């Protein structure tokens, strides 16, 4: 029997706001299986970003439990969690979050440094990933010299640097025109199909959501699933 790669059990996230409390997430139960491609959609303030931070193990729930590869993240030390997250999860952000004065190759190599990958191996893998996202001729270009679509492709390559099992993409096409956004989604879909990566996507765009196998709607901190 296949176990979920990520599991949320009765997860709540509550923020204090003066004398009141804001319930951002309310009793979330969710299982993400290996190889799934799912998308979260919902209006602004629905809890998408909060949920994504929890799925990415960047934050802890107020109540409930989160299991990453069967391990309760609340029982791990900060270093243990950072190591497990670094090996298991890759992140792609709307704002790219790249180092502008570094080359594409240097940006993609960076996450591998923190995992102790030898330099020769880092460079080899970074080159392969940049070729896979169709940037073979831009490997030595600084990020400042690249277009928005090219920067996002570098960001995808960087997210895949440590060969994570889960790729989390937060509005990955939000700052791009529709044609470039389509290219980015085609690259993500290819990685999903070819390498069976688990992809968790957040978007406002129904066309982008259409690439996913499963769409999960979030409203007022609660989930509703549509296949």
What is the domain range of residue 98? 34-61+74-226
Residue 227: its pLDDT value, please? 54
Residue 38: its pLDDT value, please? 95
Domain total of the chain: 1
Which CATH number fits the domain that encloses residue 96?
3.40.50.300
Question: 171 lies in a domain?
Answer: yes
Residue 226: its pLDDT value, please? 61
Residue 32: its pLDDT value, please? 95
Question: 7 lies in a domain?
Answer: no
Residue 93: its pLDDT value, please? 84
Question: 218 lies in a domain?
Answer: yes
Question: 143 lies in a domain?
Answer: yes
Question: 190 lies in a domain?
Answer: yes
* pTM value surpassing 0.85: yes
Q: At what angle do helices 119-132 and 104-114 cross, to 10 degrees?
A: 130
Residuewise pLDDT in 10s, the chain (227 residues): 889 999 999 999 999 988 899 999 999 999 999 999 999 998 888 888 899 999 999 999 999 999 999 999 999 999 899 888 888 999 998 888 899 999 999 999 999 988 889 999 999 999 999 999 999 999 999 999 999 999 999 999 999 999 999 999 998 888 888 899 999 999 999 999 988 899 999 998 899 999 999 999 999 999 987 65
Residue 85 dihedral angles phi and psi, to the nearest 5° = -65, -45
Contacts 24+ apart (CB under 8 A), 204-209: 204/41, 204/171, 204/174, 205/173, 205/181, 206/41, 207/178, 208/39, 208/173, 208/181, 209/39, 209/41
Question: 22 lies in a domain?
Answer: no
Distances in Å between the Cα of 72 and the Cα atoms of 69, 112, 205 are 9, 25, 33
Question: 14 lies in a domain?
Answer: no
Question: 44 lies in a domain?
Answer: yes
């Amino acid at each position: 029997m296949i176990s979920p790669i990520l599991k949320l059990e009765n997860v709540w996230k509550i923020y204090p706001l003066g004398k009141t409390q804001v319930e951002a997430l309310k009793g979330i139960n969710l299982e993400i299986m290996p190889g799934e491609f799912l998308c979260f959609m919902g209006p602004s303030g629905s809890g998408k970003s909060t949920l994504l931070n929890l799925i990415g193990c960047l934050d802890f729930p107020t109540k409930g439990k989160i299991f990453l590869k069967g391990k309760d993240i609340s029982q791990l030390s900060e270093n243990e969690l950072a190591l497990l997250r670094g090996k298991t999860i890759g992140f792609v952000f709307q704002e790219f979050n790249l180092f502008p004065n570094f080359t594409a190759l240097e940006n993609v190599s960076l996450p591998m440094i923190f995992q102790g990958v030898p330099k020769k191996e880092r460079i080899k893998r970074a080159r392969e990933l940049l070729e896979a996202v169709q940037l073979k001729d831009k490997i030595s270009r600084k990020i400042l010299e690249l277009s928005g679509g090219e920067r996002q492709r570098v960001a995808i390559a960087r997210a895949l640097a440590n060969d994570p099992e889960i790729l989390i993409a937060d509005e990955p096409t939000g700052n791009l025109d529709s044609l470039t956004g389509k290219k980015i989604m085609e690259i993500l879909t290819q990685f999903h199909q070819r390498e069976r990566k688990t992809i968790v996507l957040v978007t406002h765009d129904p066309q982008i959501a259409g690439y996913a196998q499963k769409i999960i709607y979030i409203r007022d901190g609660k989930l509703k699933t549509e296949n």
